[in-house]
Amino acid sequence: MLDGWTDGAAKSAIVDFVARVTAEGADFVEPEARVAVFDNDGTLWCEKPAYIQLDFLVRRLAEKAAADSELADRQPYLAAATGDLSWFGGAITRHYQGDDADLKVLAGAVMGLHQSMTVEAHAALIAEFFATAMHPTLERPYQQCVYTPMVELLRYLEAHGFTCYIVSGGGRDFMRPITSTIYGIPPERIVGSAQGLKFEGADGHGDLLIQPALDIWDDGPEKPVRIWSRIGRRPIPSAGNSNGDDEMLTYSGRAGHPSLRLLVLHDDAEREFAYTAGAERALEHAAEYGWTVVSMRDDWARVFGA
């Protein structure tokens, strides 16, 4: 079931861990406690040259700039209107390096994009985006920018009694319309950042409307908090790729108990991208604590599906 993984230390760590926690013995874990968590951006699907959700938001920001000329010379509308994806990617990278100045500017604009829209109307916009949008450099639909070996890992864990969740800094309501299709993970197992919601009802019917304020920023130390509040169990395997996943990986398992922490390393410029910016601290901790670093170049026989 792990055909997309080459034989080596990473694959062996996965197989050995699953064997230990599913066989009777000192490390056996009951099926109900076999909880696995995965980051999304850069862990399950491609995140360069900019996040897929950012492409969706850039298009929406460009539409707003086109409708209001007073916005066109201000960030992030200027970057959206000119197609400067590097401004958006830089804002996220600098966030992971401790500088949130541009991220705050971006967040302020994004919060108002879908104000008072129903959650169903918002989901329809996202479904339309995924039906047509292409990756700007890989020349493939975004639905095909999913890492095949990681989807194989999801199925492998499920076949051994694990329940898999996605825990991402990305938008919960951006992921939910597509994750069943591309990962086989239903919307109720998606934990992510989210805007506030407001209920409005009349004549026996009601809707949830998106509000122009952040409810949850599911990143860094907030990830373990959200895992506990949403899932109610400590995960034993976890997978991430950046500093924003560091605390989630640290929270996986307890001292003296079995755990598997996977850190995806983007080191394959030929098939995907090669970068470590925004993952420096996580890589240091992987070396210090013995986490399993997954090399795209060396550990994956293929990156994407056909």
**So what's the pLDDT on residue 50?**
83
Q: Is the pLDDT of residue 97 over 90?
A: no
Q: CB–CB of 279/243 below 8 Å?
A: yes
CATH 3.40.50.1000 domain position(s) in the chain = 9-48+143-194+212-299
Q: Under the phi-then-psi rule, with left for phi > 0, alpha for psi from -120 to 50, and beta for the rest, what region is 222?
A: alpha
135-187 pLDDT tens trace? 999 999 999 999 999 999 999 999 999 999 999 999 999 999 999 999 999 99
How remote is the C-alpha of 91 from its chain's centroid?
Answer: 17
**So what's the pLDDT on residue 233?**
97
Torsion 226-227-233-236 (CA) sign:
negative
Q: Is the pLDDT of residue 4 over 80?
A: yes
**So what's the pLDDT on residue 7?**
98
| Angle 120-124-125 from CA coordinates, rounded to 5° | 120
Q: Which CATH number among 1.10.3720.10, 1.50.10.10, 3.40.350.10, 3.40.50.1000 corresponds to the domain 9-48+143-194+212-299?
A: 3.40.50.1000
Query: CA–CA distance from 244 to each of 135, 184, 290 (Å)?
Result: 23, 24, 18
How remote is the C-alpha of 11 from its chain's centroid?
Answer: 22
| Angle 237-187-202 from CA coordinates, rounded to 5° | 145
Q: Is the pLDDT of residue 26 over 90?
A: yes
Give the residue from 214, 179, 142, 206 showing the smallest Cα distance to 39: 179
262-299 pLDDT tens trace? 999 999 999 999 999 999 999 999 999 999 999 999 99
Counting residues of the chain whose pLDDT is more than 70, the rounded percentage is 100
Give the residue from 67, 166, 63, 172 showing the smallest Cα distance to 126: 172
63-79 pLDDT tens trace? 989 988 888 889 999 99
Name the β-bridge partners of 200: 207
